[in-house]
């Protein structure tokens, strides 16, 4: 029994936001101002998430990514990662983090069986890190990246969201990191999300333009896609130890290979990042749903997956619904 959507895409991947809280306040991700946080009881408990994952695995979920908010700020996260990684049938467990608290957790993350890391990093400059995120913590992230390399994490993916007039001038510096380091640098087109007042929406730079900037260093050699690769187009700079990837949700959306569902921090299943249609699994769980009821909700969410996210905004004023900080990216 597997989860197959109306467009014949098999769903094997669940992204779980374990909290809406974050220790950074990135200007493009977390709405500025006094935004209410979810209350403790509004967030799914770990054992509730584990139940959903168990049911998902029985329906063919093979990969789980833990995200947030910032997953490492949630109490008990390491214990939870251990519980996830011991679930039979789960082939791939990964985490996405801003890296600020990572150095303190790396050894335990590795011991929980996670070997691959995605670290979000939009700048290599201290002043800009503070401008984007509101805190002066770049050195902690850089230290964590070095330590992760020493501890043998592989691959270490550094995800940079490229924003017009914010960090586009650092594209080359990020790409150059892949020359001597085994890092996978991922350039992600910024998506205009968030509809709350005070949300800052810088423009995106199309992948084509990012690629041209990178190719000033040296030609890019294409790396053949593997079956379970994510949406990144993969390349290597000539002679580089690491890789370069481009993720283009704006200019070349990858909906036809979408294989994922999302579980939000407040316990909703979201069939598509860019559609606000969600199914409330938390209420079902807390009203005594049995595993078959939960399976039915996962099947229903799968059946709600749109063929593609409905439109690629042509104007920066057009916003996608939802806040990345609660959905988890």
Taken in order 327, 229, 46, 5, the sign of the CA dihedral is positive
Question: Which pair of tokens denotes residue 299?
Answer: 């099947």
Residue 153 phi/psi, 5-degree rounding, is -65, 140
Considering the complex, state which of residue 96 and residue 302 has its C-beta at the smaller distance from ligand SAM. 96
Cα 149 from Cα 147, distance rounded (Å): 5
CB 246, CB 214: distance < 8 Å: no
Cα 150 from Cα 197, distance rounded (Å): 43
Out of 53, 64, 67, 153, the residue judged to bind ligand SAM by CB under 6 A: 67
> What mask, x for binding ligand SAM by CB under 6 A, covers residues 170 to 189?
------------------x-
325 binds ligand SAM (CB under 6 A): yes
Q: Which listed range, 148-156, 173-181, 190-198, 216-224, lies at the site for ligand SAM (CB under 6 A)?
A: 190-198
245 binds ligand SAM (CB under 6 A): no
Out of 19, 120, 167, 259, the residue judged to bind ligand SAM by CB under 6 A: 120
Cα 181 from Cα 157, distance rounded (Å): 11
Considering the complex, state which of residue 96 and residue 264 has its C-beta at the smaller distance from ligand SAM. 96
Helix crossing, 46-58 with 77-85: angle to 10°?
Answer: 20
Min CB(59)–ligand SAM separation in Å: 25
Taken in order 246, 63, 107, 30, the sign of the CA dihedral is positive
167 binds ligand SAM (CB under 6 A): no
Which of 68, 86, 78 has its CA nearest to residue 104?
78
Out of 19, 105, 133, 159, the residue judged to bind ligand SAM by CB under 6 A: 159
Q: What is the 3-state secondary structure (H, E, C) of 236-296?
A: EECCCCCEEEEECCCCCCCHHHCCEEEECCCCEEECCCCCCCCEEHHHHHHCCCCHHHHHH
Strand-pair partners of 17? 67
Taken in order 26, 30, 34, 40, the sign of the CA dihedral is negative
98 binds ligand SAM (CB under 6 A): yes
Question: Which residue has tokens 């809280």?
Answer: 21
CA angle 203, 208, 212 (to 5 degrees): 110
Out of 102, 175, 191, 205, the residue judged to bind ligand SAM by CB under 6 A: 191
326 binds ligand SAM (CB under 6 A): no
Considering the complex, state which of residue 271 and residue 329 has its C-beta at the smaller distance from ligand SAM. 329
68 binds ligand SAM (CB under 6 A): yes
Question: Which pair of tokens denotes residue 105?
Answer: 């957790």
328 binds ligand SAM (CB under 6 A): yes
Considering the complex, state which of residue 97 and residue 259 has its C-beta at the smaller distance from ligand SAM. 97
Q: Which listed range, 96-104, 106-114, 167-175, 267-275, lies at the site for ligand SAM (CB under 6 A)?
A: 96-104
Distances in whole angstroms, Cα of residue 30 to Cα of each of 19, 23, 139: 13, 11, 22
101 binds ligand SAM (CB under 6 A): no
Residues in the interface with ligand SAM (CB under 6 A) total 20
Taken in order 124, 129, 133, 136, the sign of the CA dihedral is positive
Nearest residue relative to ligand SAM (C-beta): 329
Considering the complex, state which of residue 234 and residue 297 has its C-beta at the smaller distance from ligand SAM. 234
Out of 145, 193, 205, 237, the residue judged to bind ligand SAM by CB under 6 A: 193
Considering the complex, state which of residue 13 and residue 289 has its C-beta at the smaller distance from ligand SAM. 13
* Residue ranges in contact with ligand SAM by CB under 6 A: 22, 28-29, 67-68, 70, 96-98, 120, 159, 161, 188, 190-191, 193, 324-325, 328-329
């Amino acid at each position: 029994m597997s989860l197959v959507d109306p467009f014949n895409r098999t769903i094997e991947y669940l992204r779980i936001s374990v909290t809406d809280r974050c220790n950074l306040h990135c200007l493009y991700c977390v709405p500025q101002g006094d935004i209410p946080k979810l209350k403790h009881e509004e967030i799914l408990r770990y054992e509730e998430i584990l139940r959903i994952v168990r049911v998902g695995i029985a329906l063919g979920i093979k990969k789980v990514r833990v995200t947030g908010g910032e997953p490492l700020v949630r109490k008990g996260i390491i214990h939870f990662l251990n519980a996830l990684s011991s679930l039979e049938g789960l082939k791939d467990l990964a985490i996405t983090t801003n890296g600020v608290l990572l150095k303190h957790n790396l050894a335990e993350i590795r011991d929980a069986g996670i070997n691959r890391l995605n670290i979000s990093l939009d700048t290599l400059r201290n002043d800009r890190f503070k401008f984007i995120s509101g805190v002066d913590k770049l050195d902690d992230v850089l230290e964590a990246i070095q330590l992760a390399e020493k501890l043998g994490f592989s691959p270490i993916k550094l995800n940079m969201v490229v924003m017009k007039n914010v960090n586009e001038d650092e594209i080359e510096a990020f790409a150059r990191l892949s020359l001597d380091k085994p890092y996978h640098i991922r350039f992600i087109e910024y998506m205009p999300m968030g509809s709350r007042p005070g949300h800052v929406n810088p423009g995106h730079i199309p992948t084509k333009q990012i690629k041209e900037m990178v190719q000033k260093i040296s030609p890019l050699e294409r790396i053949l896609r593997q079956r379970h690769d994510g949406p990144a187009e993969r390349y290597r700079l000539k002679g580089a130890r690491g890789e370069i990837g481009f993720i283009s949700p704006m200019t070349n959306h990858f909906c036809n290979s979408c294989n994922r569902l999302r579980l939000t921090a407040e316990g909703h299943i979201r069939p598509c990042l860019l559609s606000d249609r969600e199914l409330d699994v938390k209420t079902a769980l807390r009203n005594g749903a049995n595993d078959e009821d939960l399976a039915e909700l996962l099947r229903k969410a799968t059946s709600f997956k749109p063929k593609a996210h409905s439109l690629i905004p042509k104007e920066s004023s057009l916003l996608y619904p939802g806040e990345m900080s609660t959905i988890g990216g």
